[in-house]
Every structure is written in structure tokens, then in C-alpha cells.
Chains A and B, each alone.
Chain A
């Protein structure tokens, strides 16, 4: 039982490059989330998926897209990376939106030069 897994752990991109961050959970959770964490800013929600087949914008969605591939997997795509997207990205999951207890993956540290 791995919980929430994320790949890659580290990534360096040049401005304008694209990439996809992968997330998978094996807890049979319905809801999944993508956050970014910047120093002094706390965790900010980028996108979330209440259940398979649905996605919604969070607090800071600009520059990102998401795909809920199936119940287990939720990916985050940066189409044209910018230095402002340098951050640590966390995926999380919960049983449902109404069950607020969220469980986090190990994170992806992304640097955009």
C-alpha cells in the first residue's frame, strides 16, 4: 500500500518547455488535488477532481491543465513553463470532497530557468 505516489521527484525545465507531473493513489479515494507550495505562501490549490471524470479550478490554475485519467491517476501539465512556476508540487487525495482529511504524495521539486 504505497498511498499517494508522484513522479518525477525533481525536474529542471527551460522557459517554454512543457511537462506532465504524474500522480497515483491506491487508497480507492474519489477526490484528488494538486497544490503548489512556495516559501511563505503555504499550500495553494491549483486544480482538483471531486471524482473520476470531473475537474475544477482551484486558487491558482493559470498556466496549468489537469487530467483525471481514471480513479487512481491525476496528472498536472505545464504547457509552457515559466520561472514563476518554480515550486514544489504536491498531489493529495481524500475519500471524497466532504471528507476533508487529505493525504499527500512526496512532492515534485520543479525549477524553471
Chain B
């Protein structure tokens, strides 16, 4: 079992809609969680970090964490064509390393 699992997608949403990305992790000791955005042919870019249960909002992005369910999600509100990318979920481990999911590809159609 992979340490971090993401819904495989691809996810296609109309412009202006909410894109919902999900991620589960297996290490109960994980304390820190991250969402990276990766445009095609480019490197991952950190867009959100979350450390405690609940919601964290940053502009059009909201990260949600539920440690009891070992679940992290990312909501993108008012989706724009520029949000079309692959989103990588990552969780920390006790040995200070990050484990990454395989990514969910989002396409925002105009």
C-alpha cells in the first residue's frame, strides 16, 4: 500500500466551479501535509500547507485535514483555466521525509 493515495482523476471541471481533490495517508504519525501544483513539464510548486485538523483557506484554495480519518483534501473555488495542472499531496513522516502521492490532474474547461 502506498503511503499517500490520491484520487487518480483526471478531474474535469467547468470554469467557475469547485474542484475537489482528495488524499489519504497511511502513517498515523504524520503531522504535516502539503499540496503542490505542477504544471505540465514544470516542477512542483508549494501552494498549501496544513498542520492541524480543520480548514485552512488561502485565496481560492481551501485545505481540509482530518487526522482521525487520515484524510486531506484541497478545494479550488471559482476554478480558472490557469488552475489546470497536476496536484500532488504530500505528508511528512517521522524521519523528516515527505511522501508524495501520484497526483491528480485537473482540467478546467472554459
Contacts and interface: CB of A to CB of B under 8 A. Distances in A.
B97 A98 contact: no
Majority-rule SS of A interface residues? loop
Contact of A100 (B34, B45, B102): B34
Contacts of B108: none
B62 interface: no
A106 B98 contact: no
A100 B98 contact: yes
Interface in A9-47: 40-45
Nearest to A107: B43
B98 A102 contact: yes
Interface string B73-94: 0000000000000001010100
Contacts of B88: 42-43
A41 B6 CA distance: 11
B42 A106 contact: yes
Interface in A55-80: 58
Interface residues of B, number: 20
A103 B46 contact: yes
Contacts of B97: 45, 48, 58
A36 B16 CA distance: 34
B43 A100 contact: no
Contacts of B4: 42
A109 to B, nearest CB: 9
A42 B101 contact: yes
B45 to A, nearest CB: 7
Interface of A: 40-45, 48, 50, 58, 90, 97-98, 100-107
Interface of B: 2, 4, 32, 34, 42-46, 49, 88, 90, 92, 96-98, 100-103
30 contacts: A40-B102, A41-B102, A42-B4, A42-B88, A42-B100, A42-B101, A42-B102, A42-B103, A43-B44, A43-B88, A43-B100, A45-B98, A48-B97, A90-B43, A90-B44, A98-B96, A100-B32, A100-B34, A100-B49, A100-B92, A100-B96, A101-B49, A102-B46, A102-B98, A103-B46, A104-B43, A104-B44, A106-B42, A106-B43, A107-B43
